[in-house]
Amino acid sequence: MIMASDKEKQTNQTGRIRTAGSVRYLPHVTGAMSRASYWSDKVSDPKKLLAGRDEIAELNRSILEKSAEMTDMAAWEETGYDAPEMVAGLLGRAARDAAFLKKAGAIYGDDGAETDFEAVIALCVDPDVSVPASDSDDRADTREYKFAVCTTQTTLKVYPTDRPFLDDPDEPDFDYNHLTKVKVNEPLILRTRSQALSDGSFYYSAISPCGEGWIPADCVAVCRDKEEWLDAWDHPSDQVLVVLDGRIRTEESIAQPETSERRLSMGTRLQLASEDEAKGRIAGRAAYNNYVVWMPVRRNDGTYEKKTALISENRKVSEGTPDLTAENLLSVAFNALGDVYGWGGMLGADDCSGYIRDVYSCFGLDMPRSSNRNNGAMKTCSLKGMSDEEKASFIKKLPPGTDLVFNGHEMMLLGYEEDRIYVISPVSDLRLPGDSENTRVLGTVINTLDMWRGDDQTWLHHLYEAMIPFRIADLQHDEEQI
C-alpha cells in the first residue's frame, strides 16, 4: 500500500480532483481513506455486534410486514392465477411504464432510433393466453405459478426485450429498462411468458423477493414443486457460503460447463456441501483449498437441478453469515470501491440503492430495493427543518453504515475528518464545488458532503433522512447512543 506523502496531502487541500500515483480521488479524499480500516479504526469498538441474528430476523419480519415492495417467498401459498386477468394487468402496467419512460426521455435504442412502444407493449402478451375482448368477457383460464431459481446473474426488466431504453444514445451504460439485479440462486415465482423475440428466446413475468418484472427464460431453472424450490435456497445462515464481493466467478471448466465462469455478486448465498458431498472430484478437480457449494443448473428443458462447484478459499466469501460489526460492514462496503455504476443492476453492478441493499444482504438483512425505504421497520431520523450546521452535528453522532438520503440518491456514511463528513456510494454524476456543470462519474466513490448538486447547493444541504438499517424502528435511542 502506497501511503500519501506530505506533498500529496498538501495538494489534497486544494479541494480539486487530485491523484496519488495513477489513482485519482475526489476533493479532500486521500489514498489512505480508501482502506476500510481507516474508518473502522475511528470506531470505539469496531468488533462490537451491531445487531445479532435474532435482531436481524426480527427486522426482516418487520420489513416483510410493512414494505409493499418485499415478498415473503418462503411463505408463498397461492397456487394459481387467472391468466387473461394477469396479462391484462401486465398490459396496463406496460402502458403506464411507457408514459413514464417517454416523460423521462428514455425513448432511444442503441441505434439512435426512437422506440416503437406499441410493439414493445405487445411483447408482454403470452402467446398462449387469450386477452379478454371486454370487461364482460369472463372466460376462465387458470394457470399455476412456477417456482424457479436464477441460474445466471441477470436483471429484472421493465419490458421483455433486450433493446435498451436510453435518454441519450451516446450513453449506452444507462438503460432505463433495467429494474434490479437478480443473483444466482435467488428464488423467483414465475407467471406468464412473453412473445418470442427474433432469436426465439422469451421472458417470464417474475416475482422476486424485492420486486417484479421480466426475466430472460434462459437465466432461470423451473423446480418441479415448492419443496425442491425451498431446498435450493432456503437454508440456515450457518449452512451457506456468502459472497462478499461483486466480482467473483467460478473457475472455467470444460469438464462441467454448467457451472463454469458463473458470476457471483455481493450477497449471493449458496448452500455449502456436506463433508461427504465434498469428497471425490468436483468438476474434474479435487476440492483442496476450495469451498464446495451447490450451484443451481438449468437443464436443456428449462428444469432445475443442482451440481457441486468449487470456490477458492482466497475469494472474498464467508462460511456462514458474517457478524454485523462496524469492521465487517465497512470491509464489505469497500469491496465495491471503484466499481462501475450499474443502473438497476445492469453491467453486473449496483446503483446507489442496490449497493446499500447488497452490502446489508451479506449480513442476512433483506432490505427493500428502492431508496424509499422509510416503511417504519428500520430506525429513521428526519433531517428536515435542520440547518446545514445542525445536520452536520447530528450526522457526526450517527454510526458508520447509516444510510443518508436525498431526492434521487442515497449513500453510506463512513465518518468524518475535522469538519468534513465522508460517504461511499455508486454515483451517476455530481458537481464539484465551483464548477458550472456536473461531472459524469458512473462509479463507486468516496466523497465528502461538500459536493454540489445541479442547483449549486451541497449534498449536506439536500439530505432529508438518515436511516440506521440495523436498528429496529421502535427501539429508542437518545442522542448520545445514536
**pLDDT band, very low/low/confident/very high, at 5 (cuts 50, 70, 90):** very low
**pLDDT band, very low/low/confident/very high, at 370 (cuts 50, 70, 90):** confident
At residue 477, the pLDDT reads 47
**pLDDT band, very low/low/confident/very high, at 68 (cuts 50, 70, 90):** confident
Q: What is the mean pLDDT of residues 348-360?
A: 96
Please say if the pLDDT value at position 3 is more than 50: no
Give 241's DSSP letter.
E
At residue 475, the pLDDT reads 59
Q: What is the mean pLDDT of residues 101-115?
A: 96
At residue 376, the pLDDT reads 83
At residue 427, the pLDDT reads 97
Say how far apart CA 63 and CA 378 lie, in whole Å.
8
Q: What is the mean pLDDT of residues 4-25?
A: 56
Report the Cα–Cα distance between both ends of the chain, in Å, rounded: 34
- The one-letter amino acid code at 364 reads G
> C-alpha grid cell for residue 454?
445541479
For 229-264, write each residue's pLDDT tens digit: 999 999 999 999 999 998 899 999 999 999 999 999
Say how far apart CA 330 and CA 363 lie, in whole Å.
12
Please say if the pLDDT value at position 220 is more than 80: yes
C-alpha count within 13 angstroms, C-beta hemisphere, residue 338: 11
Cβ neighbourhood burial of 164 (10 Å; 0-12, 13-18, 19+): buried
At residue 130, the pLDDT reads 84
**pLDDT band, very low/low/confident/very high, at 444 (cuts 50, 70, 90):** very high
Please say if the pLDDT value at position 150 is more than 80: yes
Neighbouring CB atoms inside 10 A of 67's CB total 20
At residue 371, the pLDDT reads 59
For 320-344, write each residue's pLDDT tens digit: 999 999 999 999 999 999 999 999 9
At residue 338, the pLDDT reads 97
At residue 341, the pLDDT reads 97
**pLDDT band, very low/low/confident/very high, at 456 (cuts 50, 70, 90):** very high
For 274-328, write each residue's pLDDT tens digit: 999 999 899 999 999 999 999 999 999 999 999 999 999 999 999 999 999 999 9
Q: What is the mean pLDDT of residues 217-224?
A: 98
At residue 19, the pLDDT reads 59
At residue 14, the pLDDT reads 46
Q: Which residue has the cell 418484472?
A: 213
At residue 295, the pLDDT reads 98
390 phi and psi angles, rounded to 5 deg? -65, -40
For domain 6-69+323-472, the question of CATH label 3.90.1720.10 is answered with yes
Domain range summary for the chain, segments of one domain joined by +: 6-69+323-472, 70-321
Q: What is the pTM of this model?
A: 0.92
Q: In angstroms, what CA-CA distances link 88 with 277, 342, 447?
A: 47, 31, 46
When the pLDDT of each residue in the chain is averaged and rounded to a whole number, the result is 92
DSSP secondary structure of 15-49: -S-EEETTEEE-TT--GGGGSHHHHHTTSS-TTSE
At residue 131, the pLDDT reads 73
C-alpha count within 13 angstroms, C-beta hemisphere, residue 291: 23
- Work out the angle at residue 126's Cα, subtended by the Cα atoms of residues 122 and 130, and round it to the nearest 5 degrees: 95
Cβ neighbourhood burial of 278 (10 Å; 0-12, 13-18, 19+): middle
**pLDDT band, very low/low/confident/very high, at 134 (cuts 50, 70, 90):** low
Please say if the pLDDT value at position 212 is more than 60: yes
